[in-house]
Amino acid sequence: MGKLLLFLSLGILVFLSVSAALFPQNLMFLFASASSTYQHIRELLAFVLILQLVTRPPRHAWIRVLSGTIALAAGIWAIDATYIGQMLLLDSLAFLGASIAIGVAALERRIITPTTWLVGNKVLA
């Protein structure tokens, strides 16, 4: 489930980034910004999502702190900018989805694997 959120958020951000770069005058960008500032923020969030997908849990504490801080800042900024009318709808949904996915991945717990012992030909759990 956690990887699905990361993949979907990454897909939305990549779609918005590529389509904003190739087709900035498209009708879709009445609801999303094609400015370079939003492009850089999409690229930063996509990089953090790729970092979460590439590394395996349990991740290093610094990666978790850094990605959690980025997720919190992006989420607060998206809500605030949407509330005062500076951010368009598709951007706010993409940034909120990415910040939630990154935040969920940053709040992971340690993986507890059951210990097994092999005694003779029997596996004891």
29 closest CA partner among 11, 44, 15, 50: 15
Structure tokens belonging to residue 10: 């990454």
The C-alpha atoms of residue 10 and residue 8 are separated, in whole angstroms, by 5
In this prediction the pTM is 0.82
- The pLDDT of residue 9 is above 80: yes
The C-alpha atoms of residue 92 and residue 99 are separated, in whole angstroms, by 10
pLDDT, one tens digit per residue, over 95-104 is: 999 999 999 9
Give the DSSP H or E segment for 122.
strand 122-124
pLDDT, one tens digit per residue, over 20-67 is: 888 888 887 788 888 899 999 999 999 999 999 998 877 788 888 999
pLDDT, one tens digit per residue, over 64-84 is: 899 999 999 999 999 999 999
